[in-house]
Amino acid sequence: MSPIGVLTNPNSGKNRRNPGRREQLERAVGRAGVVRQTRDLAELERVLEEFFDLGCDVWVCDGGDGTLHWMLTIGDRLARERGRPLPRIVPANGGSIDFVAHRAGIRGEASAVIRALVELRRRAEPTASVVLDTFRMRGRTADGTAFDHVGFASAIGGIAQRFFGKLYEKKPVDGWSIWRVISRSTAGAVAGKAPRPLQQFLPDGLVDYADEVWAPTRAQVQVDGKPLGFEDFASLQIGAIDINLGGVVRTFRHAQAPGVMHAQAISMTPLGVVANLPNIVLGTPIWGTKVFDGPADRLRVTAVGEESLAPVIDGEMFDGLRELDVSRGPQMTVPRVCSG
């Protein structure tokens, strides 16, 4: 029987609070697999090469959505170089938000998930699977460096992208911290329209905080080859699956359907976005005269002037890009593991 490959990231949200995680995982998997701990991308690539060499047909990712992003991006490249399919992957709830694991129906902490997976193998029981769509985001930096990543959800510009910078300023990252950033940004946007004499009575830095978050991204955007008629984006994002972010924000409703990406490109004032806040939080249609909110097969984004693009993919932040091209990526097969 092929071994299970378990990758654990000690720097992920839940694992930072559990220094004995690796030993727990080794006890859980026993002789059915191997556990490897990685602290950087160079180590991660070497581990995935080892998993391929050992013939591991299931990879368990004990890290957050960011760790899963890198496992999928590097693993997909290695699989294509070797002419082999990408193994089945189990996201094991090791991060702060774990929106991919929740979307796949994986519950419980990593050790319990691994024990359930090992037990299914011991009984030789057939294991049902969930298939998740991804996108492939290709691009180039100003100096021509290539960019090629596989992901599930990306905040490309505007408030969607700047939201993450504020979110990561304080730990832990959870549902409450998501609400904190949303509420402070919203309050600052409203306060910024108050008469200047009244602004002196507001909390220090509130308006400046909002100005940073609400600064638009200037870009040329094409959806399925058709240019949008505006270049200032209050928010710009795309998803290959529908997501629930910390139980607070639900979005990409069109991506519930297999093989469908959902793009959102919004050009409006901060107060217009605030008025749309219920739609943004609940995932219902966003209204406005300069809004694209629907299915897309391809999204092309090119920075305007001296600006650059700084997409956030599955919680991982990148910068310095001049252009991006997003299309459908490989599917990720997730064994449906019930951990009790």
Work out whether strand 4-8 and strand 58-62 pair parallel, antiparallel, or are unpaired: parallel
Which residue did the predictor score with more confidence, 33 or 143? 33
Residue 194: its pLDDT value, please?
41
Is pLDDT of 148 > 70? yes
Q: Please name the fold of domain 4-127.
A: Rossmann fold (3.40.50)
Mean pLDDT of 121-129: 81
Q: Which sequence spans correspond to the domains of the chain? A: 4-127, 135-328
Work out the mean pLDDT of the chain and round it to a whole number.
88
pLDDT band at 334 (very low <50, low <70, confident <90, very high): very high
Is pLDDT of 151 > 80? yes
For 32-68, the DSSP string reads: GEEEEE-SSHHHHHHHHHHHHHHT-SEEEEES-HHHH
Residue 199: its pLDDT value, please?
46
Residue 208: its pLDDT value, please?
64
Going 27 to 28 to 33 to 38, the CA torsion angle's sign is negative
CATH architecture of 135-328: Sandwich (2.60)
Residue 238's H or E segment, with its range, is: strand 235-239
Mean pLDDT of 323-332: 97
The tokens describing 87, both together, are 């193994």
Task: Give the relative orientation of helices 206-214 and 158-167 as an angle to the nearest 10 degrees.
Answer: 130
Residue 259: its pLDDT value, please?
95
Q: Which tens digits make up the pLDDT trace of 241-253?
A: 999 987 888 999 9
Which residue did the predictor score with more confidence, 18 or 7? 7
Is pLDDT of 101 > 60? yes
Residue 202: its pLDDT value, please?
43
The tokens describing 109, both together, are 């902490």
User: Is pTM beyond 0.75 here?
Assistant: yes
The Cα 317–Cα 32 span in angstroms is 35
Is pLDDT of 326 > 90? yes
Could you tell me if 297 and 224 are in contact, meaning their C-beta atoms sit under 8 angstroms apart?
Answer: yes
Residue 21: its pLDDT value, please?
87
Is residue 172 reached through a cis peptide bond, with omega within 30 degrees of 0 on the bond before it?
A: yes
Residue 339: its pLDDT value, please?
62
pLDDT band at 166 (very low <50, low <70, confident <90, very high): confident
Q: Which tens digits make up the pLDDT trace of 220-231?
A: 999 999 999 999
Q: Which tens digits make up the pLDDT trace of 261-306?
A: 999 999 998 888 888 888 988 899 999 999 999 999 999 999 998 8
Q: Which tens digits make up the pLDDT trace of 172-210?
A: 777 778 877 887 777 666 554 444 544 444 445 555 666
Residue 190: its pLDDT value, please?
55
Q: What is the percent of the chain where pLDDT is above 70?
A: 91
Residue 181: its pLDDT value, please?
81
